[in-house]
Amino acid sequence: MTETVLVTGGTGYVAGWVVVGLLERGYEVRTTVRSPERERAVRDAVAAVTAPGDRLSFAVADLTADEGWDAAMAGVDHVLHVASPLGDENTRDAEALIVPARDGTLRVLRAATAAGVKRVVMTSAANAASPSSYTEEGVTDETLWTDPDDPTLIPYRRSKTVAEKAAWDFIAGHEGPTTLTTILPGAVFGPILTTRNLGSVRIIERMVAGKMPGTPRIGLEIVDVRDLADVHIRAMTSPEAAGQRFLATGEFTWMREVAQALRAGLGPAGAKVPTRQLPDVVVRFASLFDRQLRAITVSLGRRNRHSTEKAKRVLGWQPRPAAETVVDCARSLIDRRVVQVRGSSVPGSL
């Protein structure tokens, strides 16, 4: 009998690819949306990659409210909790991020355990398993927990850490059959399914459109959204994954290397991508007037990396190279006219 998987937040960037991955593997998929009007957008996005047939259904449920979650879980074998009601990750008010992230996670877990779901796989973040300050260089793994009480943490990092800790605390007090696994991704890029909810992909959009004067000396651990979907599904089905955290951070890449990959991969369409590296002093000065820059200045020149050895060993996960990911991401942005470029074609366009 085909198993049914519930994916939270089907309109999201990552959730959309998780839905695609599950459908391609033959699962019955139910995904949550905040209103019935959003169903068509999800169907159209998924249909651009795979034919869902009658195996895709919807449940109306919001992470900020109790209504709808019990019905969403009816007959479900597994839950992939990908959604997060975080909004703008540069929000100054920590509680505005922490409360909905933590409470939404607990709503999902309460409904899942009540329904006897086999496993919940939750999307956390690599910055929930990172040195608090980011001033220390080195390689860390899943055994490290970010200190949520560190006053220097930006609200986004604190909210992701608090939400994951709340999930583990909840499951520790649960005596039923439901198990928990968490996935901790890095910077998520790759092809888009829809022009809504672009999130971190906006960085690539800005680079290809020539909206950046240069690249800051910042390194990103780039994971392809398709590989992130894959590791969620592997964690869902692996017996050894029960009760485990898995980092899914991808390849460490300096932003200047991202720019060089875009220039090489896009040909003339990448002509506006800036390859000049900005001096740190320029970035620090600009951060005085740009709150988004202010949050990253502490990471200038640092090689803070995470080990993905555990996901590769336990789950057999093999992420693709970062250069392939960012070029595929840019091509999809051009194809969907999020970015306007000269010329009518892009090499290798999706």
Q: What are phi and psi of 336, to 5 degrees?
A: -90, 10
Asked about 160 being catalytic, the answer comes back as: yes
As a whole number of angstroms, the longest Cα–Cα distance in the chain is: 60
**HSE-CB of 192 using CA atoms within 13 angstroms:** 24
How far is it, in rounded angstroms, from Cα 101 to Cα 92? 15
Contact 64, 103 (CB under 8 A): yes
Choosing from 160, 165, 211, 272, which is the catalytic residue?
160
What are 15's two structure tokens?
A: 């959730």
Query: Which strands make up the sheet holding 119-123, listed edge to edge?
Result: 56-60, 28-33, 4-7, 78-81, 119-123, 179-185, 245-248
What are 304's two structure tokens?
A: 């803070």
12-51 exposure pattern, b = at least 16 Cβ within 10 A, e = fewer = bbbbbbbbbbbbeeebbbbbbbbeeebbebbeebbeebee
How far is it, in rounded angstroms, from Cα 62 to Cα 53? 25
**HSE-CB of 304 using CA atoms within 13 angstroms:** 20
**HSE-CB of 124 using CA atoms within 13 angstroms:** 32
How far is it, in rounded angstroms, from Cα 165 to Cα 167? 5
What are 115's two structure tokens?
A: 């329904």
Residues near 338 by Cβ (< 8 Å), separated by ≥ 6? 192, 195, 198, 205
DSSP, collapsed to helix, strand or coil, labels residue 39 as helix
Write out the H or E segment, with its range, that includes residue 224: strand 219-224
- Residue listed under structure tokens 């703008």: 88
Q: Which residues are catalytic, by number?
A: 160
